[in-house]
Amino acid sequence: MIQSLQLRLAIIGIVLLASVFLLYPSFGPVPTFWAKYLPDSPIRLGLDLRGGLHLILEVQANKAVEAVLDQTVSEASAMMKEEKIRYTDVQRSSPSSLTVLLKDADQAALFDQKILEKLHNFKKISAGPSENGFEIQLQLDPKAAESIRYKAVRQAVDTIRNRVDALGVAEPDVVIHGTDRIIVQLPGLTEDLNRAIDIIKQTARLEFKLVDEKGDLNAAIKGDVPPGSEILNKVDRNPATGIVTRTPYLVRKQLLMTGDVLTDARVQPDQMGRMIIAMDFNRTGARQFERITGDHVREKLAIILDNRVYSAPVIKDRISGGSAIIEGMFSPEEAHDLALVLRAGSLPAPVKILENRTVGPSLGADSIRLGRNAIALGLLLVVIGMAVYYRWSGVVADVALIMNLLLIFAIMVLPGLRATLTLPGLAGVALTMGMAIDANVLIFERVREELRMGKSAKVALENGYAKAFSVIIDSNLTTILSALPLIQFGTGPIKGFAVTLCIGLIVSMFTALFVTRAIFDYSFQMKRIKTLSI
């Protein structure tokens, strides 16, 4: 304990002053000079108090692995064509393996020699003659697959962050949770929640593939899909009537290009006043697009977003300049949102919503009011109770208790900590009052015992504080220990509760021990009090 009373009172004064400065912005707008030197943000309220959206998404990272395999299929076939290796088929045969079907064993030897080493991370697991040639099975290295999954989750977080930023929500929070989950918190977002969810979870995988014009579409619809092709639909919803029409397309599986090369996407009206989305490619993309269009003049190029065909124009000529458009029957909102997600980038894998908590703003306001009333009533009861039971000493404890409350909220706005106040957190604050008073009860009971033994007021007080000290530390530490396991429960209200409770307990040790002691010492030294009202 610091000996100098002046120093102790000064510390208390500074702490009080600092709390007032920290909390001032929570009660109203601050003057402009304030923000320059002091934090100008009010207490951060949790979603349950402020309203907003909380999502837990699961990244289906295996799909990212599959996408890499599909990409490898395209690359392998392109390389084999270049090396003039004769093959009948390359395809993904399981989530992590490829099957290459070659003409005969000689071609297989060529494949081993020229192609295999270029397919990084793939291992040959089997090879042998089959019905129509020679079959080679390639397996993706599990470590590489793991790394793809890991990167997919990281990239998904970045992409979602970009999209959320584009939504213009204040203080969004997007974090990885566990291995493949993402927590998205958008406090304060209370309108257009469904639209926000759509924007967040849309994969937005843009692909360019050729329409299979040799294959028989009607036969394919009946089930006889030519190898290397697939059926994808064009889905149109008439904005005026709401009628949905589906047009099937037979599309080559081979992936010519993806939307990764996009640098910009924006909404424009076309000559007929319909909404289209204009896209710009980067230099690689522009070259790629030029080569593709040059190689496939007079063929149809399908522009596919999330496995839906948007348009399939005939390539009239080689297109240089690095831009393309997406047509579709968009409403202005749809077009805007689509351009937004395209700009923010695609998700490397689809995401699934595991948890969705939406709180409207009115409920939050109700909860704040009730929580405030509960704290006020609890405080009133405890303050009166202490004053009645311990008289003047009780009042000293009450002063410490009120300071405790002030400090809890002040610490919650400390920059760097930025704790979130939630509804259970308010309960935690209320509960802390009962617990904070325990320290003073322990001290005062000891002081009374000492007084009964005939000690002077000053000695009794000193002994009371000394004897109660270790048990106060013990009891606060154990409560903190039991609240610690709660902090692992994500970023939700429960964590808010645990954090608030822990802050409250730590602060209570300062107020109940340090502050009350200083007040008592002040009365003894300055006011020359001889007896203790306890």
Residues 409-438 close enough to bind another protein by CB under 8 A: 423-424, 427-428, 430-431, 433-435, 437-438
Shortest distance, position 66 Cβ to another protein, whole Å: 21
- In this structure, the chain runs to a length of 534
Is 404 in a helix, a strand, or coil? helix
Contact between 363 and another protein by CB under 8 A: the answer reads: yes
Is 528 in a helix, a strand, or coil? coil
Side chain identity at 315, as an amino acid letter? I
Alpha carbon distances (Å) from 24 to 104, 419, 445? 81, 17, 37
Contact stretch for another protein (CB under 8 A) within 86-94, 109-117, 205-213, 354-362:
354-362
Side chain identity at 185, as an amino acid letter? Q
Contact between 237 and another protein by CB under 8 A: the answer reads: no
Shortest distance, position 331 Cβ to another protein, whole Å: 16
Tokens of 407: 């400090």
| Nearest residue (CB) to another protein, 257 versus 429 | 429
Handedness of CA 64, 65, 70, 74 (dihedral sign): positive
Q: Which of 389, 402, 418, 526 binds another protein (CB under 8 A)?
A: 389
Strand partners of residue 252: 229
Rounded CA separation 363/379 (Å): 24
Contact between 385 and another protein by CB under 8 A: the answer reads: yes
Rounded CA separation 401/405 (Å): 6
Pairing of the two strands 420-421 and 44-45: parallel
* Buried/exposed 94-106: b ≥16 CB within 10 Å, e otherwise: eebbbbbbbeeee
Q: Which of 112, 418, 474, 531 binds another protein (CB under 8 A)?
A: 474
Contact set for another protein, span 17-56 (CB under 8 A): 56
Contact between 355 and another protein by CB under 8 A: the answer reads: yes
| Nearest residue (CB) to another protein, 256 versus 447 | 447
| Nearest residue (CB) to another protein, 186 versus 265 | 186
Contact between 315 and another protein by CB under 8 A: the answer reads: no
Contact between 230 and another protein by CB under 8 A: the answer reads: no
Q: Which residues contact 111 (CB under 8 A, 6 or more apart)?
A: 80, 85, 87, 100, 102, 136
Tokens of 123: 């291992």
Contact between 360 and another protein by CB under 8 A: the answer reads: yes
Contact set for another protein, span 160-219 (CB under 8 A): 193-194, 197-198, 201
Contact between 100 and another protein by CB under 8 A: the answer reads: no
CB 244: neighbour CB atoms within 10 A? 9
Contact between 359 and another protein by CB under 8 A: the answer reads: yes
Contact pattern from residue 116 through residue 155 relative to another protein, giving x for each residue in contact according to CB under 8 A and a dash for the rest: ----------------------------------------
Backbone angles phi, psi at 509, to 5 degrees: -65, -35
Contact set for another protein, span 445-464 (CB under 8 A): 445, 448-449, 452
Tokens of 438: 């325990």
Contact set for another protein, span 490-509 (CB under 8 A): 492-494, 497-498, 501
Contact stretch for another protein (CB under 8 A) within 99-107, 255-263, 339-347, 348-356:
348-356
| Nearest residue (CB) to another protein, 220 versus 433 | 433
Q: Where are the alpha helices (DSSP H) in 484-525?
A: 493-509, 516-525
| Nearest residue (CB) to another protein, 110 versus 182 | 182
Contact between 402 and another protein by CB under 8 A: the answer reads: no
Q: Which of 348, 371, 464, 504 binds another protein (CB under 8 A)?
A: 371
Task: Specify whether the CB–CB gap between 498 and 484 falls below 8 A.
Answer: yes
